[in-house]
Structure 1
Amino acid sequence: MSDDANRAAFLEIQARMIETTAKLKQVQNQMRTKETDKKRAYLTLEELRSLPENTNTYKSVGRTFILEPKSVLVNEQEQKFKDSEAAILSLQTSKEYLEKQITDVENNLRELLQQDPGLAHQIMSMS
């Protein structure tokens, strides 16, 4: 392979690595957000369940509070909890896929550097 072809291959691998790493960070942030939502729903649900059935409960809508039956609020929190769990599972699958892609890109880079040791010296002199 020529030097120009190796350089082009390196730049392509580098771009894929940067893109995949950014996507992985985004998925990890989304997972943290969903974990927080799940925990909040769980804690709210636990507090609601400890209340007697005839307790006045209110739902926050913007800056207003609306009187709602306890059962409605419990159902909403259960749904939020289930939705968060489903989203976390989906994001976990995405995370595993992206981690596999990063491993593949790293292997491609290793192969490229083993084929052309001079490329490693060029890369080091660039930085």
Structure 2
Amino acid sequence: MADEANRSAFLEIQGRMIEISQKLKQVQNQMRNKEVEKKRAYLTLEELQQLSDDTNTYKAIGRTFVLEPRSVLMDEQERKLKDSETAIASLQTSKEYLEKQRAEVENNLRELLQQDPGIASQIMSMSVM
């Protein structure tokens, strides 16, 4: 009976670990995408600042380029930069939370294995089948 309880506890912990790992990977990918977006906005803003006010600037909309005042394009890039920074901060908080959850699940697994060392061999036999 205890073996069955330990086995089901292990399967539950394993499921949580997989779920948390997937969420963590997703958050890390989102953070990378926001970092790229932030860098692109920053570099575009730098280039726009070097232009004079009377320079014709164009905004890409699909396959079309539309004439836009430099100030409008600069405002858009500044907004994108700030939005990216806000999103990155939020994602960082989520990442830290998920890392804490993962550490907690790892500790639960260690405790389970220390409580019943024989379960490790049973788990290995389960994964082979």
Specify the TM-score bucket, using the shorter chain as the normaliser. over 0.9
RMSD of equivalent CA atoms:
0.8
Could you tell me how far apart the structure 1 residues matched to 2:45 and 2:126 are? 56
How far is the alpha carbon of 1:124 from its aligned partner? 2.0
Matched residue of 1:55: which SS?
Answer: coil
Alignment-mate amino acid for residue 107 of structure 1 = N
Tell me what 1:95 maps to.
Answer: 95
Equivalence for 1:29: 29
Query: SS in structure 2 opposite 1:59?
Result: strand
Q: How does 1:59-98 map to 2 (within 5 A)?
A: 59-98=59-98
Give the structure 2 partner of residue 122 of structure 1. Answer: 122
Equivalenced residue count is 127
SS class of match (2:55): coil
| 1:111 and 2:108 correspond | no
CA distance in 2, matches of 1:50, 1:126: 64
TM-score by length of structure 1 reads 0.98
Write the deviation string for residues 74-109 of structure 1: whole angstroms up to 9, x where unpaired: 000000000000000000000000000000000000
Structure 2 length normalisation: TM-score? 0.96
In 2: Cα distance, 1:87 partner to 1:14 partner:
30
Structure 1 residue 10 and structure 2 residue 5: aligned?
A: no
Aligned twin of 1:50 = 50
What SS does the aligned partner of 2:59 have? Answer: strand
Q: Deviations over 1:47-90 (max 9, x none)?
A: 00000010000011111111000000000000000000000000
The percent of aligned pairs where both chains have the same amino acid is: 76
Between the aligned partners of 2:53 and 2:103, the Cα distance in structure 1 is 54
Counterpart Cα distance in 2 of 1:124 and 1:15 = 16
Query: What are structure 1's unaligned runs of at least 5 residues?
Result: none
Aligned partners of 2:23 and 2:106: how far apart in 1?
A: 16
TM superposition shift of 1:121: 1.2
